[in-house]
Structure 1
Amino acid sequence: MTKLYLIRHGIAADRADYSNDEDRPLTEKGKQKTEQVAKCLHKKGVKFDLILTSPLVRAKATAEILSQEGLGKKIAEFAPLAPAGDIENWVNWWSKWEYNKDDSSLALVGHQPDLGNWSELFVWGRTEEKLIVKKAGVIGIRILDKDKPIGNCELFLLTSPKWLL
């Protein structure tokens, strides 16, 4: 079964300090906490065949930290991971992904509420807006049917950085 990790970006700079939300970087605390989470995941043996990231600065920085801590070497920007992205675009991409096999592992670095909603769609086939991914938090999902992932997954991890650290 493929493992899918949905990871929210780390703590970012205040919105009020940036005219464009897309440009907000991680704060020093956000970088440190994200590094700690990445080290914890690495110690637990987590590795990614690919890290897909939202094109926003804070998400790309989070993906870089995951890579630097040894979780995966390949990073690619994926526009549907930006806020309000469409999961159907991911499903279409997924069906063609070269590593779409039983033992693959993929990270999606993005934003709340999208990651929580996507997780609900993967597991239950609908959204209730009940799953919350904290900053630098992780949701782990096993894809049970690689030909039809929506509604055919099981949740195996839902954790905040505070619990991991």
Structure 2
Amino acid sequence: MQIYLIRHGLAGERGTYEDDRERPLTAKGQSKTKAVAQQLKAFGLSFDEILTSPLVRARQTADILLQADLAPHLSTTDALAPLGSFSSWLEWLQAWRQGDSDSLALVGHEPDLSQWAELLVWGEVRGALQLKKAGIIGIEIPDNVDPLGNSILFWLTPPRLFVLS
């Protein structure tokens, strides 16, 4: 199966909201995220599901992907919130894989998404990957094998390669 780890788009300045969970995408963040979503659609990419962090900026990013018709629906999980639980997500993934689905988008935050990618690919966090806002990491997860350290990185793209304006 393939998973796409997508960082939320450019959001408001840290410290400008009493509750950081409520910090939304900026107008520029919305515009760039829409351009990325449109390019993904032009590539013929689609997901069986979008799973997102509950924070406003991530949810807005996931909604933009959904509006671009990249998936039929989305779900929210605290596992994708900052400092979320990788092990909880792995348990969710194991149950989700029992269906016919084989393509999943995860919308979340840094450094968590890069660290999760490193755990899947190398089995440990190395601090070698960095995901830009509205950037994408694609990982192939093998069937019937522990995904930790056995997955394959096939895509690492910053949004500037999608947004040509």
TM-score range, shorter chain: over 0.9
Partner of 1:39: 38
User: 1 CA distance for matches of 2:144 and 2:154?
Assistant: 17
Partner of 1:116: 114
Partner of 1:77: 76
Partner of 2:8: 9
Asked if the contact 1:4/1:143 (under 8 Å) is kept, the reply is yes
**3-state SS of paired residue (2:25):** coil
Q: Show the 5 A alignment for 1:49-128.
A: 49-97=48-96, 100-101=99-100, 104-128=102-126
- Structure 1 counterpart of 2:104, one-letter code: L
Asked if the contact 1:123/1:155 (under 8 Å) is kept, the reply is yes
**3-state SS of paired residue (1:16):** coil
Partner of 2:21: 22
Once the two structures are TM-superposed, the CA of residue 100 in structure 1 deviates from its matched residue by 5.0
Structure 2: any 5+ residue segments left out of the alignment? none
- Structure 1 counterpart of 2:69, one-letter code: G
Asked if the contact 1:35/1:66 (under 8 Å) is kept, the reply is yes
Distance 1:39 1:99, change over 3 A: farther
User: 1 CA distance for matches of 2:19 and 2:91?
Assistant: 29
Q: Normalising by structure 2, report the TM-score.
A: 0.94
**3-state SS of paired residue (2:28):** helix
Of 158, 161, 164 in structure 2, the residue corresponding to residue 160 of structure 1 is: 158
Once the two structures are TM-superposed, the CA of residue 98 in structure 1 deviates from its matched residue by 5.2
Matched length: 163
Partner of 1:139: 137
Structure 1: any 5+ residue segments left out of the alignment? none
- Structure 2 counterpart of 1:62, one-letter code: T
Asked if the contact 1:9/1:135 (under 8 Å) is kept, the reply is yes
Q: RMSD in angstroms over aligned alpha carbons?
A: 1.3
Once the two structures are TM-superposed, the CA of residue 145 in structure 1 deviates from its matched residue by 3.2
User: 1 CA distance for matches of 2:55 and 2:144?
Assistant: 28
